[in-house]
A and B are shown apart, each in its own frame.
Chain A
């Protein structure tokens, strides 16, 4: 037997349909419900809200073709470690790390140019700058 407070808490949380109550408390809750007119009135009250919620169709129409979706996804060229989506949201909206890499490359070039005196120094050539930024650029390209 459970306390009536627990029964009303179950009804407040899960509604009046015993099928939605936690399995391990259902039998005791039903026993209490059978013996308490007030608890039954309480359940009827919650049942009215259940009835309204149940007017929404249980299974909205599905317009996606599962076979076509699976085939399209399976053509995704490379699977990556978990947590890294290959396309969609990051491509569409993300300020992802490729952007950061590009920013870092620009900062490195700026630092090199600013730190060395281009008019007087022959130690840093255009080739050197390309060598410095190319690893970053290569990583950037590999992402997409």
Chain B
């Protein structure tokens, strides 16, 4: 049942094929959960958001075919990730736990991915630093660094130009370079201070 493109599964789900919808959920759940955890910094919020995103997918599916045709074949993953990221950003605007507290909670909940206390602490530091970034900078960095999106995909998901995406990424990495300088001493000096001269 996992056969078929996302768009095909979406069309079948729209016609009431529950198994096709199940295949779509199974295919995208792990990546969606990882993305939402990194953007929200909070596992329980992330899981709620992922479920909401899939509910919207189910509701959207009956009209997917006509809309995709009208838009020249909108990609499911781009649409779905945009829904997910926007839900994450909306959730982040509500009162929340302190970033470090939330990050420690997330890091501690990953027994398979972390082997030592030091690694767990580093992971918590990174997630906490990520949590202090403005929403769109954090979303941009998450999409490009961890989620493996190309610049074009990330720009389309965030509905910005590639230039604007790069600006978000530069500011995000610059801020992290400062806040995580003790973990990566080589990065303490701002890259802009040591830009090489033009060479032929």
Contact = CB atoms under 8 A, between A and B. Distances in A.
Interface of A: 3-5, 8-9, 11-15, 20, 22-23, 35-36, 38-39, 41-42, 44-46, 48-53, 55-64, 66-67, 69-71, 73-74, 76, 79-82, 84-89
Interface residues of B, number: 71
Interface of B: 18, 21-22, 24-26, 29-31, 33-34, 37-38, 43, 47-48, 50-52, 54-56, 58-63, 67, 106, 109-114, 119, 122-123, 126-127, 144-146, 150-152, 162, 165-166, 169-170, 173-174, 176-177, 180, 183-187, 189, 191-192, 194-199
A82 B26 contact: no
Given A15-B145, A55-B126, A80-B59, A64 B50 contact: yes
Given A38-B199, A69-B51, 10 more contacts: A8-B196, A12-B169, A12-B170, A13-B170, A14-B166, A41-B196, A67-B22, A69-B54, A76-B55, A87-B55
Q: List 10 tightest A-B contacts by C-beta distance, closest first.
A: A57-B113, A38-B196, A70-B22, A48-B186, A48-B184, A13-B169, A66-B26, A13-B166, A70-B25, A74-B18
Given A60-B37, A62-B29, A88 B55 contact: yes
A79 B16 CA distance: 10
A55 B123 contact: yes
A62 B198 CA distance: 47
A20 B151 CA distance: 8
Contacts, number: 184
A53 B145 contact: yes
A59 B61 contact: no
5 contacts: A9-B166, A22-B150, A23-B150, A48-B186, A69-B29
B50 A13 contact: no
Nearest to B166: A13
A79 B61 contact: yes
Contacts of B165: 13
Contacts of B33: 60, 62, 64
A85 B165 CA distance: 29
Contacts of B187: 45-46, 48-49, 52
Contacts of B111: 61
